[in-house]
């Protein structure tokens, strides 16, 4: 035994206080939208698969697991039937998966009926894919949920694990969830069934809701500074929140996870690559420029970027289209949270005084909301660039429909003349509606696109409302599952 048995058993008891009839301390009463999907999968799975909850560090995966365990216990599941462990703990990492189950049996002998296993950070264990496959195939009474902070959990295990697990992606807090966990009331804001329903509103209602939504603006700007990580959102001050994000989230991924999971040794060059992406958030990735400025070779830079995406620090959007032109074109890069760049670059509150940087932060936040809301229904996200470099920021392909989104976060009202890219794209692809994300809370209406896209209508919607509603719709969709 690699450690004294009493010490190992003490660790397991510490993580499973319900075995001794004790409750779980300090569990928040707010719940992420993904909670309902995790709980329903463990309580009544639609098929016999494990559940994989993946997402960035510190985004709330462990809390979500503990809340699901709390609900199972409240529903009458016997405490000894539920096991929780995290392989972040060095002793459990050394014990491994089968050793963990043997320890469990030392404390809680096996009995008939369903068992529930919740395993955090499974990527730190050896041959987890094979183990999970065997559990799913041969232990039909076990319901297993695992977490990981890197997408290689999915990619490396695809061949051995196909059909063996269901994946849920947990992103950073939406603006709606941020307001909920900070207990900020939002009176007077209606709950549309979808953004598409807003096209049917009369002009008078847009004006009335804009007045009611004005208090959201200040909270939205603070959300951009604090970020969508639960711990940083709840910190007392913005500088403390940004310090936490910078040191406890980003640095741990770059300096710990990258070496432990992927064997990265050139950590300084990796960190410089990430800093470059922070300075170009929301922009097209110019790989030759990155390589020239950082003095790294193209294969190295490409590998670093792939690893940053695998650990959920960035998203890459390909250009819209097909064939060789797309393969040769550049990707667009968004950070996983709007607050990452200002935190890493030590901008602090000065972000709000820099119109260009603020516009980038809003675009990043909005993309993350669109991604969270639609990734289950979408075959993909892309950006579009047409004649004379006209562009549409995000194209979501949702259930066979292409939905274009453009962010125009600036003080002046947005008119049809400012939407040449949207006009070109909608005309070429016969799109009947699009969305423009605006800054001024009163820049909120439905407008027609003229000339090339005469049959297209565009909803101009202020960024705080757009993000609030996308987050709300995601929660309501999860509640219905």
User: Which sequence spans correspond to the domains of the chain?
Assistant: 5-170, 176-480
CA torsion 192-195-201-207 (nearest 10°) is 90
In 88-103, which positions are buried (b, 16+ CB within 10 angstroms) versus exposed (e)? Answer: ebebbbebbbebbbeb
pLDDT exceeding 90 applies to what percent of the chain? Answer: 58
pLDDT at 159: 43
pLDDT at 324: 56
pLDDT at 154: 43
Q: How confident is the model at residue 452 (pLDDT cuts 50, 70, 90)?
A: confident
Does 157 have pLDDT greater than 70? no
pLDDT at 328: 64
| CA separation for the pair 458, 448 (Å, rounded) | 6
Does 275 have pLDDT greater than 90? yes
Does 450 have pLDDT greater than 80? no
Query: Higher confidence at residue 399 or residue 216?
Result: 216
Q: How confident is the model at residue 163 (pLDDT cuts 50, 70, 90)?
A: low
pLDDT at 471: 94
Residue 66 sits at φ, ψ, to 5 deg, of -65, -35
pLDDT at 164: 77
Rounded to an integer, the average pLDDT of 341-355 is 92
Does 81 have pLDDT greater than 90? yes
The overall average pLDDT reported for the chain is 88
pLDDT at 455: 83
407-439, pLDDT tens digit by residue?
A: 999 888 888 888 999 999 999 999 999 999 999
pLDDT at 472: 92
Does 187 have pLDDT greater than 80? yes
Rounded to an integer, the average pLDDT of 146-166 is 61
pLDDT at 327: 53
CA torsion 403-151-257-333 (nearest 10°) is -20
Q: pTM for this one?
A: 0.90
Does 229 have pLDDT greater than 90? yes
pLDDT at 274: 94
pLDDT at 386: 84
Rounded to an integer, the average pLDDT of 27-35 is 88
**Are 404 and 432 spatial neighbours (Cβ–Cβ below 8 Å)?**
no
Nearest to 53, CA basis, from 142, 174, 146, 135: 146
366-377, pLDDT tens digit by residue?
A: 999 999 988 877
* DSSP conformation letters of 126-144: TTHHHHHHHHHHH-TTEEE
**Are 51 and 43 spatial neighbours (Cβ–Cβ below 8 Å)?**
no
Rounded to an integer, the average pLDDT of 201-222 is 94
Does 116 have pLDDT greater than 70? yes
pLDDT at 481: 58
pLDDT at 156: 47
Given 3.40.50.300, 3.30.460.80, 3.40.50.1460, 3.40.50.11540, which CATH number is that of 5-170?
A: 3.40.50.300
Rounded to an integer, the average pLDDT of 197-202 is 94
Does 378 have pLDDT greater than 70? no
Rounded to an integer, the average pLDDT of 145-149 is 87
Most confident of 183-197, 316-330, 366-380: 183-197
Rounded to an integer, the average pLDDT of 459-473 is 95
Nearest to 316, CA basis, from 305, 328, 325: 305
Query: Higher confidence at residue 395 or residue 157?
Result: 395
pLDDT exceeding 70 applies to what percent of the chain? Answer: 94
pLDDT at 162: 52
Does 296 have pLDDT greater than 60? yes
Give 127's contacts (C-beta < 8 A, 6+ positions apart). none
Does 108 have pLDDT greater than 90? no
Does 325 have pLDDT greater than 60? no
Does 335 have pLDDT greater than 90? yes
| CA separation for the pair 403, 381 (Å, rounded) | 10
């Amino acid at each position: 035994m690699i450690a004294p048995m009493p010490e190992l058993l003490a660790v397991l008891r510490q993580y499973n206080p319900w075995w001794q009839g004790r409750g779980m301390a300090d569990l928040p009463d707010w719940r992420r939208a993904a909670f309902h999907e995790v709980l329903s999968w463990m309580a009544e799975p639609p098929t016999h698969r494990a559940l994989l909850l993946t997402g960035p560090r510190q985004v709330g995966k462990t809390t979500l697991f503990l809340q699901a365990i709390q609900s199972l216990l409240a529903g009458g599941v016997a405490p000894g039937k539920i096991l929780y462990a995290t392989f972040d703990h060095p002793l459990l990492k050394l014990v491994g998966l089968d050793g963990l189950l043997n320890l469990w049996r030392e404390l809680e002998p096996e009995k008939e009926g369903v068992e529930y296993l919740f395993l955090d950070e499974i990527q730190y264990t050896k041959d987890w894919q094979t183990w999970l496959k065997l559990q799913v195939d041969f232990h039909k009474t076990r319901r297993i949920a695992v977490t990981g902070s890197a997408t290689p959990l999915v990619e490396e295990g695809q061949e051995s694990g196909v059909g063996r697990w269901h994946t849920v992606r947990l992103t950073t807090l939406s603006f709606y969830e941020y307001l909920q966990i900070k207990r900020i009331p939002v009176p007077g804001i209606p709950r549309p069934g979808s953004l598409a329903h807003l096209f049917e509103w009369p002009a008078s209602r847009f004006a009335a809701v804009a007045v009611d939504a004005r208090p959201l603006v200040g909270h939205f700007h603070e959300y951009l500074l604090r970020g969508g990580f639960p711990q940083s959102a709840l910190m007392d001050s913005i500088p403390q929140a940004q310090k936490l994000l910078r040191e406890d989230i980003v640095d741990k991924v770059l300096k710990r996870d990258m070496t432990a999971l992927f064997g990265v040794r050139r950590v300084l060059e990796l960190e410089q690559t990430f800093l470059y992406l922070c300075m170009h958030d929301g922009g097209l990735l110019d790989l030759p420029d990155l390589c020239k400025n950082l003095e790294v070779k193209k294969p190295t830079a490409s590998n670093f970027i792939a690893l940053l995406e695998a650990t959920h620090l960035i998203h890459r959007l390909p250009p819209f289209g097909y064939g060789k032109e797309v393969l040769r074109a550049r990707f667009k890069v968004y950070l996983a949270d709007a607050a990452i760049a200002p935190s890493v670059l030590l901008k602090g509150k000065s972000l709000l005084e820099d119109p260009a940087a603020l516009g980038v932060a809003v675009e990043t936040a909005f993309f993350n909301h669109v991604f969270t809301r639609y990734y289950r229904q979408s075959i993909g996200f892309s950006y579009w660039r047409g004649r004379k470099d006209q562009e549409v920021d995000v194209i979501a392909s949702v259930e066979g429909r292409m939905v274009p989104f453009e962010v125009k976060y600036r003080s002046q009202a947005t008119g049809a003349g400012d939407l040449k890219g949207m006009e070109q794209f909608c005309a070429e692809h016969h799109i009947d509606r699009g969305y423009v994300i605006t800054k001024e809370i009163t820049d909120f209406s439905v407008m027609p696109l003229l000339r090339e896209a005469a049959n297209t209508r565009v909803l101009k919607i202020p960024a705080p409302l757009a993000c609030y509603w996308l987050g709300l719709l995601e929660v309501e969709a999860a509640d219905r599952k």
